[in-house]
Amino acid sequence: MEYWSSCLMFLLTLVLLLSQSLIDSSTPSPSNNFLCHPAESSALLQFSNSFIINPSLFDWLGRMNPKTVSWKNGTDCCSWDGVSCDHISGHVIGLNLSSSGLQGPLHSNSTLFSLPHLQTLILDYNNFSCSPIPPEIGSFANMKTLSLSSANFAGYIPEEISHLSKLSHLTIYGDFADCHFLMGPFVLKKMLQNFTNLMELTMNKIDMSGVELVSSFMNVSSSLTTLDLHQCGLRGKFPENVFRLLNLQELSLGINPYSPFSGNLTGSLPMFNWSSPLRYLDLSHTKISIDLPHMCSSAKSLQILLLSNCSFKGSSNSAMLTNLTQLVELNDLIIDSSNLGGQIPLFFLNLQQLAFLDLSRNNFAGWNSVGEV
């Protein structure tokens, strides 16, 4: 009897030990539970600590979210606000710190550049104290999306940015009030040559008055869907081949002669071989010559058309606008009303999608010529 009792006690002890072993093996220690690499976590914390948080920095909608304030040492950086990691390798591949209140210069020795696997970097609506974009920005070999909008950078856009050969989306906004942004004469050309996957290029309020446009756009990617060079002081003839890009849907070249930079953008729309998928076209305040009837017959997908203070070739036969059946917004078109008796032409009623119409710079009777349709 005593023998069987000893055996039973031994078996119970063995079962308890095995159960505890299974529990221990299925519950990893905290250090093994982190996806983020320790070196990348440290780099992010050092990057964050190199700035102060300015609570008065907001985006254009009045939003502010100081994401880095919640970052804590000893926690998994892949769970931090604004940080994205590859779910297999654990490497940091995305950093979105838009409207985070970061204030202070971004230096070349910043630990930000110790994150070689970054594919997305968004630093919009922060204040980098008019510091230049470091040339080390070109070290991100895997970068696909880079956005530096209204971030108070200044100086020349570094040539090294053209090394980001995988880039598909690039957005850079300057700021006239405080920081002066410039582009050297050959940087845009190198960018467009190397960005073979480029889909969206938005660069506003940057002094491009020294850029040679025709040679720069000689090898632009056929995958480009958005080109926005608004208020950049562009000079010279804008190349016609851009209008012929097979996938281009949005083109904004507005306010180039009247920017703070010395611009004088000329050129003309193509007169042949132009069947464009353009949905958005802004040629306002440029000297690009527009043949309105031909444009209306060639760009029938247009939804928004901005033509304030434009140069029209020949008669601006506005009745041709009825070909633009998808038009939602028409802004600031001057109409030859000599045969209209001072009345708003009724053909606008045929534009069934039109929601906003601005004819305020015309002298039509009995209406302020601006409003929703």
Longest dimension (CA), the chain: 121
pTM beyond 0.75: the answer is: yes
Residue 162 has pLDDT above 70, yes or no: yes
Ranges of each domain in the chain: 31-307
What does the pLDDT read at residue 132? 95
Assign 1 a pLDDT band (cuts: 50, 70, 90): low
Per-residue pLDDT reduced to its tens digit, 304-320: 998 888 877 765 666 67
What is the mean predicted confidence (pLDDT) over 142-169? 96
Is there a contact between 53 and 102 (Cβ–Cβ < 8 Å)? Answer: yes
Architecture of domain 31-307: Alpha-Beta Horseshoe (3.80)
Assign 30 a pLDDT band (cuts: 50, 70, 90): very low
What does the pLDDT read at residue 258? 58
Per-residue pLDDT reduced to its tens digit, 239-298: 999 999 999 999 999 988 756 666 689 999 888 767 779 999 999 889 998 888 888 888
What is the mean predicted confidence (pLDDT) over 117-144? 96
What does the pLDDT read at residue 25? 42
The phi, psi pair for 227, rounded to 5°, reads -130, 115
**Top-confidence range, 127-131, 276-280, 289-293, 328-332:** 127-131
Per-residue pLDDT reduced to its tens digit, 166-223: 999 999 998 766 788 999 999 999 999 999 999 999 999 999 999 999 999 999 999 9
Structure tokens of 50? 């190199």
Whole-angstrom distance, CA of residue 324 vs CA of residue 278: 11
Question: Which has the closest alpha carbon to 170: 125, 224, 241, 250?
Answer: 224
What does the pLDDT read at residue 31? 45
What does the pLDDT read at residue 4? 47
Residue 53 has pLDDT above 50, yes or no: yes
**Top-confidence range, 15-24, 32-41, 239-248, 332-341:** 239-248
Residue 146 vs residues 50, 124, 201, 228, 317: alpha-carbon distances, Å:
21, 10, 10, 15, 42
Compare 7 and 198 and report the one with higher pLDDT.
198
The residues that bridge with 247 in the sheet, in sequence order, are none
What is the mean predicted confidence (pLDDT) over 358-364? 64
Whole-angstrom distance, CA of residue 192 vs CA of residue 219: 6
What does the pLDDT read at residue 105? 97
What is the mean predicted confidence (pLDDT) over 77-86? 97
The residues that bridge with 182 in the sheet, in sequence order, are 156, 207
> 62: burial class by Cβ within 10 Å (0-12, 13-18, 19+)?
exposed
